[in-house]
Structure 1
Amino acid sequence: MLYRRFGKTNLKLSVFSLGTMRYLGSQEIAQETISQAIAFGINHIETARGYGSSEEYLGSVIASGLLVCRSQMHITTKIPPTQDAETMRRYIKESLARLNLDYLDCLGIHGLNTWEHLDWVKSENGCMQAVREAVAEGKVRYVGFSTHGSLELILAAIETNLFDFVNLHYYYFFQRNALAIQRATEKDMGIFIISPADKGGKLYTPPEKLKEFCAPFTPLELNYRFLLTDSRITTLSIGAANPEELIEPLQVADNGGELNQAEIMAFERLEKQQNLALATDKCSQCYACLPCPENIHIPEVLRLRNLAVAYDMDDYCQYRYGMFENAGHWFPGMKGNRCTECGDCLPKCPENLDIPALLNDTHERLKGKAGRRLWE
């Protein structure tokens, strides 16, 4: 297992962290998963107030004495932004009690997703007042934020200088937040990549076409290598639901070196396939088409179309597309069939894409049952 400095916190974290959103099944499975993670060398566990019984399960493990050396095992929990300090004080107290901890190594503001959330964070009497008090009292060591927000919002949050680390979505198949990686690095913030297997493409159950273009590597392995070769990134989340799901990710846990020739060739095949399959319909993700009068997140809708057409990633794309209109600020935007063909986006597109037609095509390809956040 490799370990890297988590930005200005100076914590040395394992390059894989155990995320606990998915071990909601039982206390026994939680204990087995945590025990196995520690045996593999993981020294960072992340949970959240909103993850069902996750804090309680982890708290029971802590109370059992499994985490023998507390100073060498780092615990993060996440709490949503609140408009007032008193609510945040209560939330911090409750999380510490559930976790059976005297202090948190890291507290993340969970889901800093909207400009209103950022206003709450920046407010003199808002939630950060309680967070600052907790830091002063030794109940919290370091403070960061997780986000599903726009790149512009993420950059604005980084510029507040209120945070020691950031939890980001950033993967081979979603590189929109590259500027946030760079700016956070310049601010010496720790960078934690969340859900690289699931949100990164449901890469634990890849389609045959994707496996073909990634061979001799698995798609999951290539995505992990894409991230681990970036020394700016400290740690990647493994959302293991059981001990067995730790095995494949940790096979690359000691490989943070440069891409080898075979890996480079695999990435080149992926790029070539996307260009050939999409031809003149490829969306380059420039975001120039926004804002949309109907609040359609055009780039994200067309990113999903890119992946479905190029690699047959229909399962992942339907899963993500189904969250539009169903997940609030966690996945904002309307579905492609909301397009009125107003034409507002057409002159903005540098590729001259027929965006209304592509939105309709995406909807026909990916429409299905509505999706929701796993922990909701």
Structure 2
Amino acid sequence: MRYRRFGKTEMLMSVFSFGAMRFLESEENAIATIKAAIDYGINHLETAKGYGKSEEYIGAAFKAGLHKLRDRLLITTKITPTWDAQTMRDLIQRSLQRLNISYIDNFDIHGINTWEHIEMVQKPDGCMQAVREAIDQGIIRHVGFSTHGPLAVILAAIETDLFESINLHYYYFNQHNEPAVQLADQKDMGVFIISPSDKGGMLYTPPEKLKQLCAPYTPIEFNDRFLLADPRVHTLSLGAANPDQFTSHALAWDNDQPMDAQELEILQRMNQNYLSLGSDRCAQCFECLPCPEVINIPEVLRLRNMAVAFGMEEFGKYRYKMFENAGHWFPGTKANKCTECGDCLPRCPEKLDIPKLLFDTHDRLYTKEGKRLWG
């Protein structure tokens, strides 16, 4: 396992972090999975108040003997922003109790996704007052934020200079947040990548076309290498649900060097494959927004890009069903809400027939309604 300095926090963090949001089976399984992560060299466990019983299961692991390794482990937990300080004080104390620890190495404000959330963290007597007090008391050592928000909100959150690290979506199939990665690097912030294998493309179950394009690597290995070849990225979430789900990342956790000739050839092959979309390819410039019907046009057409060019229809269906069902965590209405008003058309530099592509995406990807794993 390789380790990287997590920005200005100065914490030396494994290039894979154990993302503990998928503990769905039992306390026994959770403890076994945590132990497996540590055995593979992972020294960072990441959870959140909102991840079901995750904090409790980590607390049970500490009670069962993990406390002996406390000085070797880095613990992150996350709590959504609150308007007042007292609510956040209470929530921090409850997380500490559930985790069965006396301090949190890295505390994240969970889900700065909207302009209202920016206002909440900047409020003088709001949640960040409680966080600052906890830092003074030694029960929080470093503070960052996680985000599923639009790029403008992410950049604004970074520019507040309230945070030492950022937890965000960025991977081969979604590079729109690259300016946020760059700004975070300029400010020497730790950069943690959310869910690179699942929401990065459901890469555990890739279609045959994607497997062929990434060969001789697996799609997971290619995406891991795409990210860890970038020195601005410090750690990737590995959301194992059981002890058997770690080793598919082994190639990358021992190799964080720049891409070699073979990997660059795969990258070029992947980039070239987008040409198969022809004149229907969305270049993800986001100039089409805002949409009067609140359709997240770039995200809808990104899913179409992946389905048509890479055969990733199952991933597209998995994500498409989240529209209208996940609030600010995955905003936007479904593509069939398009009224063909034409508002977006003159703004598209690619001159795409956006309404036609929206309806085509809905026909391809609509299956049923869905929801986030944790509400």
TM-score bracket relative to the smaller structure: over 0.9
Spell out, residue by residue over 1:106-131, the C-alpha distance to the aligned partner (whole angstroms, 9 max, x if none). 11011111111110000001111111
- What TM-score, normalized to structure 2? 0.99
Distance 2:136 2:81 in 1: 19
Aligned equivalents of 2:67 and 2:269: distance in 1?
Answer: 44
Separation (CA, whole Å) in 1 of partners of 2:370 and 2:312: 17
Query: 1:69 aligns to what SS in structure 2?
Result: helix
Q: Which residue of 1 aligns with 2:155?
A: 155
Q: Distance in 2 between matches of 1:221 and 1:281?
A: 29
Structure-1 separation of matches of 2:252 and 2:177: 24
Q: Which residue of 1 aligns with 2:337?
A: 338
Which secondary structure state, in structure 1, belongs to the residue aligned with residue 17 of structure 2?
strand
Q: Secondary structure at the match of 1:144?
A: strand
SS in structure 2 of the partner of residue 243 of structure 1: coil
Aligned counterpart, 1:227? 227
1:364 aligns with 2:363: yes
Q: Distance in 2 between matches of 1:325 and 1:301?
A: 13
Number of the residue aligned with 2:111: 111
Show CA shifts across 1:67-106 (max 9, x none): 4231210000000111111110110000000001110001
Residue 191 of structure 1 pairs with residue 186 of structure 2: no
- Aligned partner of 1:324 in structure 2 is 323
The alignment status of 1:168 with 2:165, answered yes or no, reads no
Contact 1:290 1:298 in 2 (8 A): yes
Q: Is the 8 A contact 1:278 1:306 kept in 2?
A: yes
How far apart, CA to CA, are the structure 1 residues paired with 2:237 and 2:184? 18
Query: What is the CA–CA distance in structure 2 between the aligned matches of 1:108 and 1:318, rounded to whole Å?
Result: 30
| 1:288 maps to amino acid | E
Stretches of 4+ moved more than 4 A in 1? none
Following TM superposition, by how much is the alpha carbon of 1:66 offset from its aligned partner in structure 2, in angstroms? 2.1
Say whether 1:307 aligns with 2:302.
no
CA distance in 1, matches of 2:69, 2:243: 21
Alpha-carbon distance change, 206 to 309 in structure 1, aligned in 2, over 3 angstroms? same
State whether structure 2 residue 290 is matched by structure 1 residue 274: no
Quick check: 1:67–1:73 contact (8 Å CA) kept in 2? no
* Superposed CA RMSD: 0.8
- What are structure 1's unaligned runs of at least 5 residues? none
Give 3-state SS (helix, strand or coil) of 1:59's partner.
Answer: helix
Aligned ranges for residues 1-80 of structure 1 at < 5 Å? Answer: 1-80=1-80
How many angstroms does 1:251 deviate by? 3.0
User: d(CA) in 2 for partners of 1:210 and 1:237?
Assistant: 22
Once residues 3 and 216 of structure 2 are traced to their aligned partners in structure 1, the CA distance between those partners, rounded to angstroms, is 27
Other structure's SS at 1:116 match: helix
